[in-house]
Structure 1
Amino acid sequence: MAYKSRIVQIFIFIITNFFLLLIIDSASSQNILTIESRSDPATPEDCSNRWIHIRNLPSRFNLDLLTNCSDYPLFDDFCPYLANHGLGQKTHIRSRSWYRTDPLLLELIFHRRILEYPCLTDDPDVANAVFLPYYAAIDSLRYLYGPDVNSSFQHGMDLFQFLRSDEPGIWERNMGHDHFLVMARPAWDFSQPLNNDPPVWGTSFLELPEFYNITALVPEGRPWPLQEHAVPYPTSFHPQNLTYFEAWIQRVKRSRRTSLMLFAGGGGIGSAPNIRRSIRNECENGTIKNNISSSSSFNIVQRNGVYSKLCHIVDCSNGICEHDPIRYMKPMLQATFCLQPPGDTPTRRSTFDAITAGCIPVFFEELSAKTQYGWHLPADKFAEFSVFIPKEEVVFKGLRILDVLMGIPRSEVRRMRQSIVELIPRVMYRRHGSSLELRSKKDAFDIAIDGALQTIKDKLGDTLEH
């Protein structure tokens, strides 16, 4: 059976690679309008200051990298998730909007989607921005987990040499200020100092002076404003038309929220004090402090018909939830608040899963979202759709998360949930080839493109001023 399963995976990969190659070949020859999903060609007036040129890169910078999908056992075998142009296989045979999406394939998803962008030009001289279809995160695996681990300072140099030698005028026109790309790993993974000896974790792509001018779209940026901008992690929700999208929105609105708070994740089982351990302790032993006995506090909640469970933990240890949204989406639909403690890095894909489920995110660090996703989650409106509890107050000063959340008035909770529902289209990546009606709603891709274009415009303006 394992042998047959492997054969099926290889067949799916070959078919996916074949059709993607056809699409990218058409893009390379600038036959963009022949893509089947194109049904809304833009006029020159619509595209004013929005023209994008896709740089024609050799396949060694993108498609060829996919052929190594099973070569990194210390990382994972991502071959099964290449289907549907990076969205992954459907969660079940009747699924219309849900896929087993791997965040690493955001580069592939983005590449497929930009081929449908209505303002593409084959003339780089009239373009307002140049997109590099380079699968940087996939290429980085050979430095992070593969044979080139001790030469990670070389990551990106091959690309730079190509940009300077093949049609060098495209790069030299603005010395890279008008170029952007997607990198489907946190910026920290590309930020190893060039002079580290011995090397530490990561590659040095974002530390190379050659790439200081580019705009990099990453799922997590560093605290200081450099060349990267954070965009949402891809969830598993990728509707293809307005009917499927609106059906999900109605389900989110109708869902009964029977749990006060939920944590979907791993960690927190060690002895060292940290926010995840505090969450687990509170969930296992939690009661509400409001001058009544612990036994009656839970019954009062029950009698009010609000919550049958104060805290629900979905154990996602060892990555068991990563490609199985069924494990956590149903519990998220049943929870009012979804806790988003930092892990190895401040951000979590779970933040966007929670928003998709209409579950109010609870943050413990501002780096987890507020200072990251300004294009998609406006920082000045965070109080309208999320709760912030400093992790130090919980871990070291005894502040109880349950008490904070139960202290929020019901009317305020209802307003926050409505705000969350309005955010869902902004954090989803709709399926490529989606209907014209659904395209009228800007999704995470559309907003990222708008942000990149504005960033490049501002950078070029500053360059001219100086």
Structure 2
Amino acid sequence: MAPKHKSFSSKSYLFLSISLLCIFSLIIFIFSKSSQPSSLSPSSFNYQSTPNFPADSIKVFILNLPRSLNYGLLDKYWSLTSDSRLGSEVDNEIRKTLVPKSSRFPQYPESPLIKQYSAEYWIMGDLMTPENMRMGSFARRVYDVKDADVVFVPFFATLSAELQLGVKKSVFRKKVDNEDYDRQREVVDFVMNTEAWKRSGGRDHVFVLTDPVAMWHIKAEIAPAILLVVDFGGWYKLDSKASNGSSSDMVQHTQVSLLKDVIVPYTHLLPRLDISENQKRDTLLYFKGAKHRHRGGLVREKLWDILANEHRVIMEEGFPNATGKEQSIKGMRTSEFCLHPAGDTPTSCRIFDAIQSLCIPVIISDDIVLPFEGMIDYSEFSVFIAVSDALQPKWLIQHLRGYSNPQKEKFRQNMAQVQSFFVYDNGHPGGIGPVAPNGAVNNIWKKVHQKLPVIKEAIVRDRRKPPGISVPLRCHCT
């Protein structure tokens, strides 16, 4: 009996061992399969995955300029002891708390004088954001210029100009002892010596020139490029002080055009008011700003005299520094309409502050061009008045009083729908992080994308021209 029992035990153990081995192999197989993320697993949607860009996204190549021409200018700005210009108090306070070591992506100035032109910073921040974090961006960064639709020139032109104006304004319009001019020259000389510029004549290059005086000395040289500007006011007006009456220094209107260039919004300085927080508005019309302006802004002084003593109208002279900002917030949030007359140029950041404050813009500027037209219908939330009508005594006030409460409420509802279009700040330090899908940066790239067929056609036309043949830079268009 003993041998029989031993034989049975061996077979049992063998069967049990094989069974355990099979079970163990099955567990390993199942575990290995479960560790592979399926197409619907959460891991496929986190920032470790490659973002899905829209099929019609624009492909952007960033030109390799030295850091000294972009983020290095911020290092230079924050290293200043102070800035004595109006509105710079907030930055002087920030300097006291800054960590001595420089950051790779320093913050942009909070001084309203400079901050209103910060588009260059936020556009650059979006492109510098790591690929796996660029969720929702309309611009797709490429690393071979041959794959690009456009070439982005990463020069903080506005900050360069403002640095010069703050440190040594007396030489700003000169070329000698002018660091801003030296930087402009460095950028243009570098760009024009690249194969990308030679191939396209610069027509597919993108420059951000939000301050009307940005790259003032070399505007004519970069005129073929795609220019991101707040308006055309600084381009087709002759500055008598600079030219001494000579038209040879004039930058011709034919160098800018809505065919190739993009109007971008100023950066708003006042915080957004949600439509759910809107309250009763006791003031009919509100304005805060400088009374005396030049060129097209001369109408402002005339309007001031007409409106200053009208009932339920507030006309305040001032600048949106620390005190002025609080006054502007209160004024715009408690007024039904906000006056927007032309200044030194046809537009200003005031209109975008009004939109964020749900204060119906009253635009009195016959030459104004506005951001994202074609994507936005400003007449759905703004009132446009001809200068000739506005300067008739009592006309403007009577016109505004003719709007019913339901009409004004509809204006505000429509305004609330487009507030996000004019927001640059993505809420991330240094601007490095995902942008709002319907924010200012994406909408700027969408407008540039709309220009591509015209740009590509112009490049092809240039290539087939016989040697020695030249054509005007641009048509005169509106």
TM-score by length of 1: 0.67
Within 5 A, what are the aligned runs for 1:211-360?
211-222=222-233, 224=253, 225-226=256-257, 228-236=261-269, 248-252=273-277, 254-267=278-291, 274-287=298-311, 310-316=312-318, 319-321=319-321, 325-360=325-360
Amino acid at match of 1:409: S
| Mapped contact 2:201–2:459 kept (Cα < 8 A) | no
Within 5 A, what are the aligned runs for 1:41-56?
41-43=50-52, 46=54, 48-56=56-64
**Alignment RMSD:** 3.8
1:427 to 1:354, Cα distance in 2 relative to 1, 3 A: same
Instruction: Name the SS of the counterpart of 1:112 in structure 2.
Output: helix
Amino acid at match of 1:229: V
Partner Cα distance (1:213, 1:40) in 2 = 38
Does residue 106 in structure 1 map to residue 119 in structure 2? Answer: yes
My pick for the range that moved more, 112-121 or 322-331, is 322-331
| Mapped contact 1:54–1:133 kept (Cα < 8 A) | yes
Does residue 404 in structure 1 map to residue 399 in structure 2? Answer: yes
Instruction: Name the SS of the counterpart of 2:336 in structure 1.
Output: strand
Partner Cα distance (2:322, 2:48) in 1 = 34
Instruction: Name the SS of the counterpart of 1:264 in structure 2.
Output: strand
1:289-326 deviation digits (Å, cap 9, x = unpaired): xxxxxxxxxxxxxxxxxxxxx1123431xx34489532
Q: Which residue of 1 aligns with 2:370?
A: 372
| Mapped contact 2:361–2:381 kept (Cα < 8 A) | yes
Q: Which residue of 2 aligns with 1:184?
A: 210
1:43-94 deviation digits (Å, cap 9, x = unpaired): 36x35552111111112322333344348757885955798954556x9xxx
Q: Select which of 408, 415, 418 maps to 1:420.
A: 415
1:446 to 1:150, Cα distance in 2 relative to 1, 3 A: same
The alpha carbon displacement at 1:400 in A equals 2.8
Q: Select which of 58, 62, 68 maps to 2:66.
A: 58
The alpha carbon displacement at 1:366 in A equals 3.1
1:48 to 1:205, Cα distance in 2 relative to 1, 3 A: same
Partner Cα distance (1:158, 1:268) in 2 = 36
Amino acid at match of 2:421: R
1:220-254 deviation digits (Å, cap 9, x = unpaired): 2247543542211001367xxxxxx7xx42445x3
Q: Which residue of 2 aligns with 1:361?
A: 361
| Mapped contact 2:287–2:314 kept (Cα < 8 A) | yes
Q: Select which of 185, 193, 204 maps to 1:157.
A: 185
Instruction: Name the SS of the counterpart of 1:446 in structure 2.
Output: helix
Per chain length, whose mean CA-contact separation is higher, i.e. which structure has more relative contact order (CA < 8 Å, sep 6+)?
2
| Mapped contact 2:117–2:267 kept (Cα < 8 A) | no
| Mapped contact 1:425–1:441 kept (Cα < 8 A) | no
| Mapped contact 1:185–1:220 kept (Cα < 8 A) | no
1:441 to 1:65, Cα distance in 2 relative to 1, 3 A: closer
1:383 to 1:47, Cα distance in 2 relative to 1, 3 A: closer
1:11-53 deviation digits (Å, cap 9, x = unpaired): xxxxxxxxxxxxxxxxxxxxxxxxxx96774336x35552111
| Mapped contact 2:208–2:228 kept (Cα < 8 A) | yes
Q: Select which of 364, 387, 394 maps to 1:391.
A: 387
The alpha carbon displacement at 1:338 in A equals 0.3
| Mapped contact 2:436–2:442 kept (Cα < 8 A) | no
Partner Cα distance (2:206, 2:62) in 1 = 10
Q: Which residue of 2 aligns with 1:120?
A: 141
The alpha carbon displacement at 1:132 in A equals 1.1
Instruction: Name the SS of the counterpart of 1:454 in structure 2.
Output: helix
Does residue 451 in structure 1 map to residue 438 in structure 2? Answer: no
Instruction: Name the SS of the counterpart of 1:326 in structure 2.
Output: helix
Within 5 A, what are the aligned runs for 1:10-21?
none
Partner Cα distance (1:108, 1:440) in 2 = 15
Q: Which has the larger radius of gyration?
A: 2
My pick for the range that moved more, 218-227 or 103-112, is 218-227
1:56 to 1:393, Cα distance in 2 relative to 1, 3 A: same
Instruction: Name the SS of the counterpart of 1:362 in structure 2.
Output: strand
Amino acid at match of 1:206: K
1:73-122 deviation digits (Å, cap 9, x = unpaired): 57885955798954556x9xxxxxxx997224332233223323552121
| Mapped contact 1:340–1:363 kept (Cα < 8 A) | yes
Partner Cα distance (1:204, 1:366) in 2 = 28
Partner Cα distance (2:357, 2:87) in 1 = 27
The alpha carbon displacement at 1:335 in A equals 0.9
Instruction: Name the SS of the counterpart of 2:425 in structure 1.
Output: coil
My pick for the range that moved more, 447-456 or 170-179, is 170-179
Partner Cα distance (1:212, 1:268) in 2 = 31
Partner Cα distance (1:286, 1:404) in 2 = 13
**Structure 1 spans left out of the alignment, 5+ residues:** 1-36, 92-98, 191-201, 239-244, 288-309
The alpha carbon displacement at 1:426 in A equals 0.9
1:250-269 deviation digits (Å, cap 9, x = unpaired): 445x3221211111212159
1:181-236 deviation digits (Å, cap 9, x = unpaired): 212302xx35xxxxxxxxxxx8232212xx22211112222475435422110013
1:420-450 deviation digits (Å, cap 9, x = unpaired): 1112011121324399x99564111110111
| Mapped contact 1:86–1:101 kept (Cα < 8 A) | no
Q: Which residue of 2 aligns with 1:15?
A: none
**Structure 2 spans left out of the alignment, 5+ residues:** 1-45, 99-104, 237-252, 463-478
Partner Cα distance (1:364, 1:148) in 2 = 31
Partner Cα distance (1:73, 1:205) in 2 = 28
Residue-pair matches, total: 364
| Mapped contact 1:55–1:130 kept (Cα < 8 A) | yes
Partner Cα distance (1:440, 1:330) in 2 = 27
